[in-house]
Structures are given as structure tokens and as C-alpha cells.
Structure 1
Amino acid sequence: MATIVTELDSLQLVTVSQPLDTKRVGRPSTVVRPSQRHIAVAVYPDTDAIAIGVVALGGEVLREFRFDVESAPTAVHTVNTLQALLRGLELSDGGTVLGIGIGVPGLVDARDGVVRVAPHLDWHDEPLVDMVATATGLPTWAANDATCAVVAEGRFGQGVDEDNLVYLNGGAGGIGGGAIVGGQLLSGVNGYSGELGHMLVNSDGVHCHCGAVGCLETEVNRHDLLRVVGLADAEAGLLEQRLRDTYGTDPAVTAAVDRQLDFLGVGLRNIVNIFNPGTIVLGGFLAAVRNVTQERLQETVERSALAGPSSEVRIVSSSLDDNVLIGAGELVFRTILRDPASVSTSVSSAGSESDSEARRVAAS
């Protein structure tokens, strides 16, 4: 451990100092903190905005930029926005960008970083990793947005010390999920696992864009909740408070929330029976539904799922505001932590058009 800390310190990835309190008995432990000099840039394109964060080792979002869009951004628009921001980005103390991590609301092929489909963005076979790496000259990684989020929750959020964790997020573009099973991120053959928004919850439901009927994200969606409380998409941040103000007193709101709660309970029952998680973390508007209805979701799952796996599962709301950006940053840092010496390689190769292998990396 000391050798790793020394190596990270020499590469200026962490700072090492002595504790202020030296009155304790025994040899004082050194204090190790992530450095803010060498950072990752995280990107999260969604239907209503492109979010870009400056992320430090340790999951700290130093700065966040949000570029609102009137319609879903194209892959080219996303790359151009990132490129423009990087040109104007100022880092203190001669810091460097180690790489780019991207969380995509869609299927990202782990072998080549191609976004096979991001339905709500209308992206199909977009070579996103290669596009970003070519435009920026920086090592680039990409993964599904909920996969990024479950990594962040497992390392810095509600899933710390939890080896069996499922994350389920509700956003403008639908519902995504990610799972950590036995301490390992579940990725699948091509990195496509975690499409929990497309599990069947209503055989008499409406058609989903995926071609199926009654998917979780067609029966449980943000749009219907915003509509019933009279909010526009741009006002989604007010959803939970508006639900708190009207749930239980406004019959239309109460009926809409209860309907979505029931179908969400079906989805979580399936997740509990299949994955046997210790913790399920809900993000986005799903967290709002849970928070407003208090313990009803937990009680529904405990009543409907198998007694064994439901007996100890914890259903909680995310405590991280930027878990997708944090997880996208981790796509960069996990490579650094596996091989700290690669920091010098990454920095020296940034901008080099000849070193395509260093620039084009896909992560599941």
C-alpha cells in the first residue's frame, strides 16, 4: 500500500501530508488526498442537455457545465461542444487532462466504443469514442450512463462496502440500470447488460420504442409525472417538491404516482428475485417517487418478492447528484489506478495523431 501511495504521489495524482493531530498514541498515519492537478473530463449527453464535468480522483466533481438543448444532441454536436469547452478550460498549477469518460444513455459496444443505439438521442452506430479521441487527442472511454452511475454509487455513494448492488435511474430519456454482483460490475458479452428499463411489467401495456410491449420505462416515466403536476421538462428539478405538495390531496396526482409505484414495484420485485442485491439505489425521478411515498415501495417489494432475497434488501435514493459524471470519470481513473505509470504516457500522447491506440479505448 505504501508503495502505491508513493507512486501516486510522485505522479502528483495524490497529495500526502502529516495529520494535524499528533497527540495520539502510536505512529500517526499520513493523510492521503486526491490531487486536483490531473483530472478527467466526464461527458453526459441526454435529451435535454449535454453535461460536462471536471472530475478529480476520488469522485469529486470540481466543476460542472450544462449546455441545454432544444432537441436531442447529435453525436457531432456533443463532440463539438466538448472540444469547444476543452479549448477554454483552465486548469490550476499546470494541471493536465488525463482522459475523457463518456456516459451514454444507450448501448455502447465495449470492444470498440461504438454507440450501437441510443434510442432517445436517435443515435445509431456512432463511433463516439473514436470521434472524441480524434477531436481531442486524448485517451477516451465510454459506457452506458447507468453503468457509470452504479460504479459511482458503489465507490462513493449508497453502495459503499456493498458487493451486490443494483442502480436504477429515471431520466428524461427513460430508465436505465446497472448491477454489481459479487463485487464485479456486470457487463455482458458486449457491454450491453443493465437494460432494466426494458423488463416486462405490464403485458397489457403500451408499445415501447424497442418494439416490445409494457416495458418498465413505458409504464413508469417522467413525462407523465411532469404533466400531471403541470411542469415542463425544463422544470424537472421541481418535480419532487411538487409531488410532495400534491400527492395525497390531488386525486389525479395521487392516481398517477400510485400507478407508477405499482409498476416500479413489479420491476424491483424482478430485480430482487434475479440479482438478490443487498442494496437497490434509485436515481432521478424514481428517487422522487420513492421519497414522496416513503416506505411503500420497500413494503411492496418485501410483500411481493421471494421471502429469501427480499428479507434484507435495502431500497434507497441516490445521495450523489452527479453519479453519471463521477462514474464516467472513473472510466479514466480506473485505468490509471491499474497502471499509475500510464499517466506519463497519457499526458505525452495527448494530441499525438500517430498514437491511435492510446486515444481509442472503449470501456464497459
Structure 2
Amino acid sequence: MVTAGSRGDGMRRANLSLVLRTVHRDGPRSRAALTEATGLNRSTIADLVGELHRAGLVRERASEALGRVGRPSPIVEPDPRVVAVAVNPEVDALDIGAVALDGAIVARERLDQPSLLTPERTAELVGIHLDRWRGGVLAQARLIGVGVAVPGPVRATDGLVRDAPHLGWTDAPLARLMTDATGLATHVANDAALGAVAEHLFGAARGARDVVYLNGGASGIGGAVIVGGIPLGGAGGYAGEFGQNRPGIADPSDRRAVDGVLEDEVSRSLLLAAVGREARDDTALAAALADSSDAAVRAETDRQRRILATALANAANVMNPAVIVLGGFLAALAELDLPGLDRAVRAQTIPACAEGLRLAVAELGEDRLLVGAAEAVFEAALFPTR
């Protein structure tokens, strides 16, 4: 981030971050609009924008406003050459993307994996592809870090992957490995926590301050909670593991796993088995479920939706969110009949918690985890809190 002078250093850094954060999250703004949005005066905004421009973090362009009296205020926008690398390892693939400060995904590749990735191989593959991008699509980019979304608990202090059971990782020093492979500062976090941040800032939960997010992936179900606009981390950074909760199953015939947890019963692999397909991305799975007229497929989706509805109602009763967002294969399940799932959730939610509750699917789709991983990089590198 831009450094400031010796006097008023902390306040100036905070104001620089405020201006940059505003155009990053809310889109390009005129200097006049930034004055209104931040509460800072016009001369201060001009000074801050000038420093951010010199640092290569924003750029200005002429206003397109026509017919207005006076000189139009220039438009301030994030410099798209500032880029974060985003990574999501899963049991069947490795997604790698490059996300610009203006929100554009400027490069992306999905590498299908015939066997489970190791932490070392994950870092190696990212390093190989990043070297290729540096000589091509990212030749003019200013790379500021790597963000990694991992399906498992991650220690907040140092990015140590404590346990990613479906990948077979335990106490993996992924941040160090990734930095060694790329030469970039690396930030590692739970995939659902990063997906929640992405949807909260840019997607289905934008504007809401209290959010529950559940992400369904090849490794199971993860979750995250945002309270008062702030992600709930917990004592060690492991909060939100909804997939490990014991599901409420009213009909014993609905149970598929003895003493199973939620992700054993509401499962992507069971959905793939029902449609008779091998591993595929979320979009293809959603289409297969929606297009199927097979009674067995309908029975499986109905069973999973019943169990999911109870889990969501439990979350609503405990957390009282304004919105519950579903991503991954959970979004595919929900979209088969979103109003019906909403009714099933409300039927099990106390009336006070059901008031104003909104059930939504992730708007960012398959981009949500990469956007969230990139946001972890931008937050650490560009928006320091002190």
C-alpha cells in the first residue's frame, strides 16, 4: 500500500484505503462522487487520488457526462494492471485465475487432476502456469500476491492448512510452499469463508450485514458466517463448518450414512451417481439435474433438499441472518425449486428469525472462490487496517 508522511501517517493511510476500497468495491466514481461517499473534502480527495495514481493503483479518465454546467469531474477507477493470482485446489481439479483490481478475471485455467493433489504439487503447478502467464497475458500486470481457497480449516495466523480431509492434507504449510514457487506473498483461507466474502461484497448478499453462506464442492460442504458486516472467524479461524454438523433427518429412510454428517447426506457424489455421470463442473451438473426426467434422480434431489432445508433452518434459528446464500452444487439443488426450498426452510424456522430472511443462490457462480481468494490478497496488500 502507499506509504504516507511522518505526520498524520495513520489517518492518511486510512483515507487512502478508503478511497481505493470505494472504487474497487463500488466501481468507478467521479471525484465529486468520492467526496460525497467518503465525507472527505474536495481538496483532500484530489490529493489522495493523486497519490494513488502515482502509486499505480488508480487511473483517471474524462467524464462522459454531457450537458452539465461547469467542468466535469474526472472518473477515478482501479488500475486493471494490479492483479492478484487466485487458486482453488479440489479433489478433481485445480482452478487458477488472475483477478484484476477492477474485478475482471483476466486469465483462468481449470486443470483436471487424475489423482489427489499434494500441497507441493499444487504450488508447483501454480508456479508453472504463472510463469507462462507472466510471459503472455500478464506481461504488463503488477502482481501483488496469491490467494488460495482450500476445502478445509486453515489457521488464520499463518495460512497453515490444518486438515483438508478429502485432499488428504494435514498441517500443510501451503502459504510457504506457494510463496517459494511464485515469489509472491500468499494468503490461504477456507474456501467457503472466501466465497462468503465474495458474495457479500459483489454478489447475492451485497448490502446485507448478516449472512450465512454454504458452499457445496467436490470435497463436501463448507460454510461461513458474516455478522454485522464482519466475517466470523472464531478463536482459531475455523468457524462455519456447517458440513460437519449432524443433520436432522425426520424419516430414517432418508439416511444414507450411519452416523453421517451433513456433507455425507447432501452430497455432490451422490448427485453425480444419480445422473450417471462422472465428475463435472457445477454448471454441467446443474444442467443434468434440471434436464433429467428420471424418477430416481428426482427422488435423490428431493431427499437431499429435505435434509438441506432442515440444516438451513437450524442456521437461521441460531444466526438470524438477513440472507442465506448457497453456492456450488447446493445452488444447483436449490434452483430446481427455490421457492419450494424457501418454504421448507421457513416451515422449520421460528417466525421472528424468518422475518425478512432471504434465500439466494450465489450470483458469482463458478467465479466466487477465485474472486474471494483475490479479495484476500487485495485486503492484505492494499487495505491495511493499521
TM-score above 0.5: yes
Q: Distance in 1 between matches of 2:79 and 2:334?
A: 36
Q: Is the aligned partner of 1:138 residue 2:194? A: no
Deviations 1:266-292 (A, max 9, x none): 110011011111111111111111111
What is the one-letter code of the residue matched to 1:112?
D
Q: Distance in 2 between matches of 1:17 and 1:169?
A: 39
Give 1:12 deviation, angstroms: 1.5
Q: Is the aligned partner of 1:330 residue 2:375? A: yes
SS of equivalent to 2:315:
helix
Give 1:92 deviation, angstroms: 5.3
Once the two structures are aligned, what percentage of the paired residues are identical?
A: 40
Aligned with 1:225 (options 257, 261, 271):
271
Contact residue 200 and residue 208 of structure 2 kept, 8 A = yes
Contact residue 302 and residue 311 of structure 1 kept, 8 A = no
SS of equivalent to 1:169:
strand
Contact residue 126 and residue 181 of structure 2 kept, 8 A = no
SS of equivalent to 1:325:
helix
Give 1:264 deviation, angstroms: 0.3
Contact residue 60 and residue 326 of structure 1 kept, 8 A = no
Contact residue 283 and residue 318 of structure 1 kept, 8 A = yes
Aligned with 1:189 (options 235, 241, 244):
235
Contact residue 59 and residue 152 of structure 1 kept, 8 A = no
Distance 1:188 1:239, change over 3 A: same
Distance 1:56 1:238, change over 3 A: same
5 Å-filtered alignment, 1:293-308, equals 293-308=337-352
Distance 1:185 1:27, change over 3 A: farther
Give 1:294 deviation, angstroms: 3.1
Q: Distance in 1 between matches of 2:320 and 2:303?
A: 25
With structure 2 as the length reference, what TM-score do the two structures score?
0.82
Contact residue 41 and residue 53 of structure 1 kept, 8 A = yes
What is the one-letter code of the residue matched to 2:350?
L
Distance 1:198 1:32, change over 3 A: same
Q: Is the aligned partner of 1:49 residue 2:114? A: no
Q: Distance in 2 between matches of 1:294 and 1:206?
A: 24
- Structure 2 partner of 1:254: 298
Give 1:112 deviation, angstroms: 1.8
Deviations 1:125-171 (A, max 9, x none): 11111111122221111100111111111111111111111111111
- Structure 1's unaligned 5+ residue stretches are 343-364
What is the one-letter code of the residue matched to 1:109?
R
- Structure 1 partner of 2:36: none
5 Å-filtered alignment, 1:15-30, equals 15-25=59-69, 28-30=72-74
Contact residue 37 and residue 93 of structure 1 kept, 8 A = no
With structure 1 as the length reference, what TM-score do the two structures score?
0.87
What is the one-letter code of the residue matched to 1:320?
L
Contact residue 81 and residue 101 of structure 2 kept, 8 A = no
Which is further off, 26-35 or 164-173? 26-35
Q: Distance in 2 between matches of 1:285 and 1:92?
A: 31
- Structure 1 partner of 2:213: 167
Distance 1:27 1:218, change over 3 A: farther
Number of residue pairs the alignment of both structures matches = 335
- Structure 1 partner of 2:34: none
SS of equivalent to 2:336:
helix
What is the one-letter code of the residue matched to 2:62?
Q
- Structure 2 partner of 1:274: 318
- Structure 2 partner of 1:74: 118
Q: Distance in 2 between matches of 1:39 and 1:55?
A: 6
Contact residue 94 and residue 111 of structure 2 kept, 8 A = yes
Higher RCO (C-alpha 8 Å, min separation 6) = 1
Aligned with 1:244 (options 276, 290, 297):
290
Give 1:28 deviation, angstroms: 3.5
